[in-house]
Structure formats: C-alpha cells, structure tokens
Amino acid sequence: MSFYSDALSKVLPPILSSIDFFFRKRRIRKQLYQEIAENNYRIVVHIARCTSIAGITQGEPLRFTENLGLSFNTWGYYTEDEGRKGLLYRLDEAATIVRIYERFKNIYTDAPGYPHVRGKVAAAEVDDSLVDGSLDRELYQSVSRKEAWEYMAALLNGKRESYGYDLNPLARPIR
C-alpha cells in the first residue's frame, strides 16, 4: 500500500499543476484578449470621430487622449505581481500582447507627434497581429463586440486595409 501512496504523491502534484496551469492560461488569455479588443474598439471609434470633418474643425485630434478611456486593469493585474507575470510570459502570444500594450500605453505619453497617430499605430499593431496569426482570431472574435468583430472581419476578408497602410505609404500596393 505504501508503494502506491508514494507513487501517487510523486506523480499527482505535477499532473494537478499542469491541469491548473491549463485552466489559468485559458482564463488569462480570455481576459487579456477582452481588454485588447475593447481598447482597440475604443481607439478605432475615437480615431474616426476625431479625424472626421466635424472633429477636425473642433480640434479633436489635438485632444485625442481626452475621453479615450483605455483600460489597463487586466494588464496591470498580470504584470504587477511576479508570480502572475510569470504566468503571462508563459503564454504563446506573450510577445505580441506585450507589444500591443506598449502601443496602447504610448498613446498617452508625451512623445513627439500627435496622439491620434500613435492611436493608429496601436490599431495597426492589433490589425497586423490578427492578420499574421500571432493573435488567436477565434478567441478575439469570441470576446469582441459584434460590430468590432465585423470591422476586423472586413480586414481579414480583404475588404479594408490595416491602419498600417495609412502610416506607411511605401507599404501600399501600387495601383
């Protein structure tokens, strides 16, 4: 009997740990993707509003960060604690997620240039990550608002161009 209890005591903890990590990983990914999708939605809508004729006449691009309201709650939760940060960096798409959040945070910095252009850079990062597959499209779709996913689906189906094309005229195809 002690042979079986010794074997179980050695085998069971790693198995339970692996199962626990699997469920934690799913939860972490879903929470981060939700926040990314919501932030991207806010950026895209805010860019459209601020760069419309009415927005330009009211000087909205110069006050782009006002009322933008991006959320960094989930990101902060997983990056402020070393244990949770370790879980975050074990995700397959951790490098992509870090890049996207760096772009989101950069919108609010006092860097040279206009904040709405930095917003386009952040939106382009999300667009490009979905196009190249470094973000999971199915998960992104499942956590996005319906209209936000329809906007992304237009990109993935070739019906609209990425914000990256607006930022780099050399990346545009010659017609």
Spatial contact of 70 and 39, defined as CB atoms under 8 Å apart = yes
Please state the domain count of the chain.
Answer: 1
pLDDT digits (tens, 9 = 90+) for 117-170: 999 999 999 999 999 999 999 999 999 999 999 999 999 998 988 888 778 767
pLDDT at 4: 59
| pTM for the predicted model, two decimal places | 0.84
In a domain, 112, yes or no: yes
In a domain, 13, yes or no: no
- Does the pLDDT value for residue 15 go beyond 80? no
pLDDT digits (tens, 9 = 90+) for 35-87: 999 999 999 999 999 989 999 999 888 889 988 999 999 999 999 988 888 88
Across the chain, mean pLDDT equals 86
Q: By CB neighbour count within 10 A (0-12 exposed, 13-18 middle, 19+ buried), where does 15 fall?
A: exposed
Compute the average pLDDT of residues 93-102.
Answer: 95
In a domain, 53, yes or no: yes
Local structure of residue 111 (DSSP, 8 states): -
> By residue range, what is the domain housing residue 147?
25-171
